[in-house]
């Protein structure tokens, strides 16, 4: 009789040595996370979250984010944001967010179409909201012809790689709460923010008035694991009792939840989350240092760095044709093609050698382009 648990190692379909600078989603699974999933695999555990791993996750995240925190594992970041915002808003509610926020430009209309949530985006050149920017859309309460602005969403770190300080978040939460609004923090890269700030997670979430957090894992070494963490149950319509139903109807309830929780435990029940993010940030800083040195030396013609590097990303403008030349060796994305702006992302598994090779490719392409069009 064949043993159903006996397997032979599969042959990979890709080059395991390949690297890219397009997204931290390109990276594989951290070995410690993979080992945690394997360790959780033996025997049977109760499904739909009644397992020991999900119970332990509650304790771990409460230690990070405050004693009252309740953690609801979900499959992905879009799901986390949609579940959280649905939980925080009545049907007539709206969300004030930066115009470049993930919910506004990168979630395929899911908040609007699946969550039936009105978004009120405001321009934020550095990706960060301020009380003054919030006030551009935070008005009209009691006016029945306007969706009611009841939530402020901030992203930490932002889509532009910038990082809010605790003081900036405290100013936003105080401003929002004074107006009867709640604050949701999209923390897809929350670990990178903590690494940059050198602070624990609570210092820029629960301790400064954030109400609900979308907790990231996938971009920081997990296979696929995120969570909605409710810091203030009073924020949720119907309280925490409503969360199981919202998660289920939003198609974010995992039957084998132990494997999602095991990934988050591998990251957060210890310091792996911080080690991974610190390394990714350091690799982005290394790339920026290479490029800035080349600018100083006059060997990066036409290169412009467009945003501060405060996490694991570097944003730059390149002369026409340079990006495509570099993409012959390394994949990455345009951020604003009309401006020639690109985004380069580093991951937990990016090596110094990867960074150096990529920087050399960029500088070579810049030099070749300058030579091609020199008088």
Q: Would you list the domain boundaries of the chain? A: 31-270, 273-373
Tell which residue, 21, 23, 18, 20, has the closest CA to residue 219: 23
The model's pTM? 0.95
What averages of pLDDT result for each successive group of 10 residues across the chain (375 residues)? 66 90 96 98 97 98 97 98 97 97 95 95 97 98 97 98 98 98 98 98 98 98 98 93 96 98 98 98 98 96 97 97 96 95 98 98 94 56
What are the beta bridge partners of residue 313? 345
Question: Rounded to 10 degrees, what is the CA torsion of 210, 214, 215, 220?
Answer: -120
Please name the residue that has the structure tokens 């969550």.
115
CATH topology of domain 273-373: 3.90.1150
What is the token pair recorded at 180? 């009867």
DSSP state of 312: S
The pLDDT of residue 370 is: 85
Please name the residue that has the structure tokens 């198609």.
251
**If DSSP codes are grouped into helix, strand and coil, which group holds residue 212?**
strand
- Distance, CA of 71 to CA of 61 (rounded, Å): 7
The pLDDT of residue 7 is: 66
Q: Tell me the residue length of the chain.
A: 375
- Distance, CA of 212 to CA of 186 (rounded, Å): 9
Q: How far is CA 102 from the centre of its chain?
A: 9
Tell which residue, 184, 204, 206, has the closest CA to residue 196: 204
In this structure, which long-range contacts are made by residues 290-294, counting pairs with CB atoms below 8 Å and at least 24 apart in sequence? 290/355, 290/356, 290/359, 290/363, 291/316, 291/359, 291/362, 291/363, 294/359, 294/363
What are the beta bridge partners of residue 185? 154, 213
C-alpha distances (whole Å) from 310 to each of 33, 162, 198, 348 are: 25, 5, 12, 15
Q: How far is CA 57 from the centre of its chain?
A: 20
DSSP state of 108: T
DSSP code per residue over 193-256 = HHHHHT--GGGGTGGGT--EEEE--GGGT-SS-EEEEES-GGGSTTGGGGHHHHHHHTT---TT
- Distance, CA of 96 to CA of 112 (rounded, Å): 13
CATH topology of domain 31-270: 3.40.640
Tell which residue, 194, 140, 187, 118, has the closest CA to residue 159: 187
């Amino acid at each position: 009789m064949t043993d159903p648990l006996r397997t032979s190692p599969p042959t990979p379909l890709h080059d395991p040595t390949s690297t890219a600078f397009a997204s931290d989603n390109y990276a594989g699974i951290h070995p410690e996370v993979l080992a945690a999933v394997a360790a959780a695999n033996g025997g049977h555990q109760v499904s739909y979250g009644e397992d020991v791993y999900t119970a332990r996750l509650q304790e771990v995240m409460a230690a990070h984010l405050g004693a009252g925190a309740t953690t609801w594992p979900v499959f992905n970041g879009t799901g986390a944001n949609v579940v959280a915002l649905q939980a925080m808003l009545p049907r007539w509610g709206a969300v004030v967010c930066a115009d470049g926020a993930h919910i506004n430009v990168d979630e395929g209309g899911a908040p609007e179409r699946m969550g039936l949530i009105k978004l009120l985006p405001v321009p934020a050149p550095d990706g960060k909201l301020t009380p003054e920017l919030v006030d551009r859309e935070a008005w009209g309460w009691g006016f029945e012809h306007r969706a009611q602005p009841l939530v402020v969403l901030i992203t930490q770190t932002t889509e532009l790689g910038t990082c809010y300080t605790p003081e900036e978040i405290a100013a936003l939460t105080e401003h929002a709460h004074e107006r009867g609004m709640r604050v949701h923090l999209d923390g897809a890269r929350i670990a990178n923010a903590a690494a940059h700030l050198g602070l624990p997670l609570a210092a820029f979430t629960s301790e400064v008035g954030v109400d609900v957090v979308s907790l990231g894992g996938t971009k920081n070494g997990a296979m696929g694991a995120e969570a909605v963490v409710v810091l203030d149950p009073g924020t949720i319509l119907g309280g925490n009792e409503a969360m199981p139903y919202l998660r289920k109807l939003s198609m974010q309830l995992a039957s084998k939840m132990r494997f999602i929780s095991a990934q988050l435990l591998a990251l957060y029940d210890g310091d792996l989350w911080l080690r991974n993010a610190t390394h990714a940030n350091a690799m982005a800083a290394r790339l920026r240092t290479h490029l800035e040195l080349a600018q100083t030396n006059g060997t990066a013609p036409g290169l412009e760095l467009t945003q501060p590097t405060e996490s694991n990303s570097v944003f730059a403008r390149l002369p026409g044709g340079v990006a495509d030349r570099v993409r012959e060796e390394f994949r990455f994305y345009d951020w604003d093609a009309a401006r020639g702006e690109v985004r380069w992302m580093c991951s937990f598994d990016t090596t110094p050698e990867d960074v150096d090779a990529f920087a050399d490719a960029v500088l070579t392409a810049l030099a070749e382009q300058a030579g091609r069009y020199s008088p």
